[in-house]
Amino acid sequence: MKLKDIQTFVVGNPPPHYGGRYFVFVKLTTDCGISGVGEAYCLPFHPNIVAQMLVDTFERYMDGQNPHHIEKMWRRIYSAGFTQRPDISMMGVLSALEMACWDIIGKAAGQPVYNLLGGLVHEKLRSYTYIYARPEDKVNVYQDPDLSAERAAELVKQGFTAIKFDPAGPYTAFDGRHLSLEAMDLCERFCRQLREAVGSKADLLFGTHGQMTASGAIRLAKRLERYEPLWFEEPVPPDAPEEMAKVARATSIPIATGERLATKYEFGRLLRSGSAAILQMNLGRVGGLLEAKKIASMAEVDHVQIAPHLYCGPIVGAANIQLGACSPNFLIQESIEQWQGFHSAILKKPIQWQDGYIIPPTDPGLGVELNEEYLKGFPYAGTALHLDMTQDPCV
């Protein structure tokens, strides 16, 4: 069996844009006609350029290769252009291509990928969702604790046992910083009102995006501890795990981080520094499924859990599910609400969610297939990136 063909899909994600402005998918096909799909997450280039990067990398390192030879292809791509270090853009490309190879491998074996990475451990996967804005909202749900508390109660009624929110304000290219007293007051009010709204029926997941210095994050954490959040997410920028470790040592709230990291090398540094109790690798960025499984196993040694990150499309979601299903130290999986709407329509068979849990598929490979005809109706015509940071300092 040899890899023979590549096809890319740049898909505009229509309003309300849950999961980002667009998704970049790839499909690889072998000389015996088996195809597999993958997804690249949040590269800092226009998605049309990302699609070209996928094709270029495939043609240089994968065309004509056996898709089973993951380790060999991984090392060649990781070292491409005399890099041999965690390049976040190349790792996004590699993640998508590697993911597609695992989809092919699973289909060739007639097995879901989790059975090829250790076997099923969890028959269902606990999931959480962000509190998302809705088109009909008259106020900003991310800055209005009253509406957020109301929305949290609704999500708990749907079956969710964990809710994430991020009231700490904009994240900028100039962070970390100290939050203002007004911003910290708002963060504390969010935690208080959401805890009152959900009681002990749901965990609160306090999301940030590296806005703070370590000392600033410690100030905020002391205010939030009384509300027992399950985690304090990426309180400082991801380039300094030693600083994040200062926060971890100073608070009883578990630190979760990892969505902006790639490869076992960056996660190894994170683990050695004692920075986090929960790792949030994104399967469309970290280096692929096997790399994520290695990281989960490294974490298992230190009794650190995994909570795969998802702010993208359902192909990464499907890969996350395969990883979570076979990882003993799985904690919880990020969902885009119940995987409804566009996230369901672009798949031939939607991801199965029931009463707060994802049900791992039994179909071979990743267990999902793109609805390619449907995708043709959603080209991306914009110029903005998948995600952007505020470009000026926060004053």
Q: How far is Cα 359 from Cα 357, in angstroms, rounded to an integer?
A: 6
190 and 125: one domain? yes
Mean pLDDT of 30-46: 98
| Cβ atoms of residues 373 and 366 within 8 Å | no
Sign of CA dihedral 342, 132, 231, 267: positive
In a domain, 387, yes or no: no
146 and 294: one domain? yes
What was the pLDDT predicted at 37? Answer: 98
- What pTM was computed for the model? 0.97
173 and 315: one domain? yes
Task: State how far Cα 106 lies from the chain centre.
Answer: 22
Q: How far is Cα 133 from Cα 131, in angstroms, rounded to an integer?
A: 7
235 and 294: one domain? yes
Mean pLDDT of the chain: 97
| Cβ atoms of residues 56 and 132 within 8 Å | no
Sign of CA dihedral 260, 265, 270, 273: negative
Helix locations, 45-87, DSSP H: 47-61, 70-78
Which pair of structure tokens corresponds to residue 152?
A: 């949290």
| Domain assignment of residue 93, given as a range | 3-110
Give the pLDDT band of residue 393 (cuts 50, 70, 90).
Answer: very high
Task: State how far Cα 292 lies from the chain centre.
Answer: 12
293 and 213: one domain? yes
Give the pLDDT band of residue 395 (cuts 50, 70, 90).
Answer: confident
Mean pLDDT of 262-284: 98
Q: Strands 357-358 and 162-165, how do they pair? A: unpaired
Determine which one of 46, 68, 122, 309 is catalytic: 309
What was the pLDDT predicted at 380? Answer: 98
342 and 275: one domain? yes
Determine which one of 17, 68, 209, 386 is catalytic: 209
119 and 106: one domain? no
pLDDT digits (tens, 9 = 90+) for 160-202: 999 999 999 999 999 999 999 999 999 999 999 999 999 999 9
In a domain, 194, yes or no: yes
Our count of domains for the chain comes to: 2
Helix locations, 176-313, DSSP H: 181-198, 214-224, 241-250, 263-273, 289-301
Mean pLDDT of 375-388: 96
Verify whether residue 209 is a known catalytic residue.
yes
**Amino acid of residue 148:** S
Which residue among 110, 133, 167 closes a domain? Answer: 110
My answer on whether omega of the bond before 176 falls inside 30° of 0, hence cis, is yes
Q: How far is Cα 40 from Cα 20, in angstroms, rounded to an integer?
A: 12
137 and 245: one domain? yes
pLDDT digits (tens, 9 = 90+) for 333-345: 999 999 999 999 9
Which pair of structure tokens corresponds to residue 227?
A: 């509300």
What was the pLDDT predicted at 178? Answer: 96
306 pLDDT more than 90:
yes
How buried is 206 (Cβ within 10 angstroms: 0-12 exposed, 13-18 middle, 19+ buried)?
A: buried
In a domain, 26, yes or no: yes
Q: Which of 303, 310, 284, 320 is nearest to 132 (CA)?
A: 310
pLDDT digits (tens, 9 = 90+) for 72-100: 999 999 999 999 999 999 999 999 999 99
Strand locations in the chain (E): 3-12, 22-30, 35-40, 125-130, 162-165, 203-207, 231-233, 255-257, 278-279, 305-306, 333-335, 353-354, 357-358
Mean pLDDT of 268-288: 98
| C-alpha distances in Å from residue 327, one per residue of 115, 310, 322 | 11, 17, 9
103 and 165: one domain? no
Mean pLDDT of 131-144: 93
What was the pLDDT predicted at 257? Answer: 98
What was the pLDDT predicted at 354? Answer: 97
Residues 6+ apart with CB under 8 A from 3: 28, 29, 30, 31, 58, 62, 63, 64, 65, 66, 67, 101
Q: How far is Cα 340 from Cα 120, in angstroms, rounded to an integer?
A: 25
Read off the CATH number of the domain in which 302 is found: 3.20.20.120
